[in-house]
């Protein structure tokens, strides 16, 4: 299938000399070689012809051949590394195995790692790109909704540590992001819902009009209807590019992207990263953090209800999949990266389209919000 240029959307992440394009379109995986050949002259020195595609077994079966064919047709040599799917792959053990394979194959510094897959592949491959021989070029080809609207943009790469999620990593911007919306057609519903979590987050933190668009078009978005999904991906990327360009290293504004994540990460941890997927945990985290804001009288009942109604309309799991303990969740939150001197901090919504920077909240108020979350899930 040839790419229809008219349907291609390009968004720039403006970071001075490290600015890069995000290409969004149906079928773009089949012309990836042409995109990479077009990398501007100044950057081409960092962009030699040796490429390494890192992908997982599920995505490899579906899309690897198309990407490989396009790269080879444009004169790139391609080495492929296929890993098993799943969050457990974001580990030092897996990174080490990839380093070994790159070294065994004498892959030098002048090469480009291409992450073809969801957020797990993107975070892991980006971490390897940032560290292998002190850094090689990196391209993101996200294939899940979550990765296309969020994780592939902004340069956060990393792996998990047994003592905490995303605790080892770097800020390492790609040369470009190539998001093929057609690949979303094969995503299972559970993965679509995960991506929706981040989509809804962007509406709540930055853009009430977009929140309303998502609310009105939810069935089309869940069904990955091409026009609706292309609009959603482009708007989320614009919003993320806006935030990242103002605060690349999360010293202030970028922290707002963590709305829902303090509780969300604790829920993921409680389920040993198996019971709940990242996006599901973030959806539930956003509910709990909205309850918190309401208890603190920071958001009106009407705005809090709109957030609750939106998330309740998403097909969520009807149980946590583990025994719910507010005490244990709070214990996990104390070791979250966002905690400061033992104070658990939250990004809280003031209204739809506007949130606070992280603020500390007393543990008894957190416990009450977690109990309300438990009720919310029981009533689903």
Ligand X SMILES: NC(=O)c1ccc[n+]([C@@H]2O[C@H](COP(=O)([O-])OP(=O)(O)OC[C@H]3O[C@@H](n4cnc5c(N)ncnc54)[C@H](O)[C@@H]3O)[C@@H](O)[C@H]2O)c1
The alpha carbons of the chain give a radius of gyration, in whole angstroms, of: 20
DSSP class of 110: S
- Catalytic one of 29, 90, 94, 156: 156
Active site residue 38: no
- Catalytic one of 17, 134, 297, 327: 134
Active site residue 93: no
Please pick, from the candidates 25, 33, 118, 264, the single residue that binds ligand X as defined by CB under 6 A.
Answer: 118
Query: Is 187 near ligand X (CB under 6 A)?
Result: yes
336 three-state secondary structure = coil
- Catalytic one of 265, 269, 306, 345: 265
Contacting ligand X within 135-154 (CB under 6 A)? 143-144, 146-147, 150-151, 154
Minimum distance from CB of 146 to ligand X (Å)?
4
Active site residue 254: yes
CA pair distance 269, 267, nearest whole angstrom: 5
Minimum distance from CB of 53 to ligand X (Å)?
14
- Catalytic one of 90, 94, 192, 254: 254
- Catalytic one of 201, 231, 235, 240: 240
Residue 302 CA: distances (Å) to CA of 101, 207, 272: 55, 17, 35
Query: Is 62 near ligand X (CB under 6 A)?
Result: yes
Strands (DSSP E) along the chain, which ranges? 9-13, 20-25, 50-56, 77-83, 111-117, 137-142, 156-161, 164-171, 176-180, 345-346, 349-351, 354-355, 359-360
Active site residue 258: yes
Query: Is 55 near ligand X (CB under 6 A)?
Result: no
Taking the C-alpha atoms of 132, 138, 140 and 141 in order, what is their torsion angle to the nearest 10 degrees? -90
Contacting ligand X within 265-324 (CB under 6 A)? 278-279
Minimum distance from CB of 58 to ligand X (Å)?
3
| 3 state SS for 50-79 | EEEEEEEHHHHHHHHHHHHHHHHHCCCEEE
Residues with Cβ < 8 Å from 353, sequence gap 6 or more?
203, 204, 205, 206, 207, 208, 209, 211
Active site residue 252: no
Query: Is 245 near ligand X (CB under 6 A)?
Result: no
75: how many CB neighbours lie within 10 A of its CB? Answer: 10
Contacting ligand X within 84-103 (CB under 6 A)? 85-87, 90
Query: Is 156 near ligand X (CB under 6 A)?
Result: yes
Question: Active-site positions?
Answer: 134, 156, 198, 240, 250, 254, 258, 261, 265, 278
Q: Which residues bind ligand X (CB under 6 A)?
A: 56, 58-59, 62, 85-87, 90, 117-121, 123, 143-144, 146-147, 150-151, 154, 156, 166, 183, 186-187, 191, 194, 278-279
């Amino acid at each position: 299938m040839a790419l229809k240029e008219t349907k291609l959307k390009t968004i720039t992440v403006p970071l001075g000399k490290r600015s890069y394009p995000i290409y969004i379109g149906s079928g773009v995986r089949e012309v990836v070689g042409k995109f990479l050949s077009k990398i501007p002259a100044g950057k081409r020195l960092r962009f030699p012809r040796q490429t390494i595609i890192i992908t997982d077994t599920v995505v490899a079966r579906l899309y690897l051949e198309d990407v490989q064919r396009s790269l080879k047709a444009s004169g790139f040599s391609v080495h492929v590394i296929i890993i098993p799917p799943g969050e457990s792959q974001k580990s030092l053990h897996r990174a080490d195995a990839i380093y070994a394979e790159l070294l065994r194959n004498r892959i030098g510094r002048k090469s480009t790692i291409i992450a073809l897959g969801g957020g797990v592949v993107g975070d892991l491959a980006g971490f390897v790109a940032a560290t292998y021989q002190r850094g090689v070029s990196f391209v993101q080809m996200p294939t899940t909704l979550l990765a296309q609207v969020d994780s592939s943009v902004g340069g956060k790469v990393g792996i998990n540590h047994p003592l905490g999620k995303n605790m080892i990593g770097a800020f390492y911007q790609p040369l470009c992001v190539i998001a093929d919306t057609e690949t979303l057609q094969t995503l299972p519903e559970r993965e679509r819902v995960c991506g929706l979590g981040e989509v809804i987050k962007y509406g709540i933190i930055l853009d009430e009009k977009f929140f309303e668009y998502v609310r009105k078009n939810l069935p089309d978005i869940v069904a990955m209807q091409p026009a609706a999904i292309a609009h959603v991906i482009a708007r989320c990327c614009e919003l993320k590019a806006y935030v990242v360009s103002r605060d690349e290293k999360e010293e202030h504004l970028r922290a707002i992207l963590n709305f829902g994540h303090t509780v969300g990460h604790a829920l993921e941890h409680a389920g040993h990263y198996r019971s709940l997927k990242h996006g599901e945990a973030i959806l539930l985290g956003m509910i709990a953090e909205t309850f918190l804001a309401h208890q603190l009288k920071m958001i009106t009942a009407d705005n809090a209800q709109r957030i609750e109604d939106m998330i309740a309309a998403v097909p969520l799991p009807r149980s946590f999949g583990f025994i719910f303990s507010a005490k244990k969740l709070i214990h996990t939150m104390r070791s979250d990266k966002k905690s400061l001197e033992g104070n658990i901090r939250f990004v809280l919504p003031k209204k739809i389209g506007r949130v606070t920077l992280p603020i500390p909240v007393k543990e008894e108020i957190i416990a009450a919000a977690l109990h309300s979350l438990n009720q919310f899930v029981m009533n689903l």
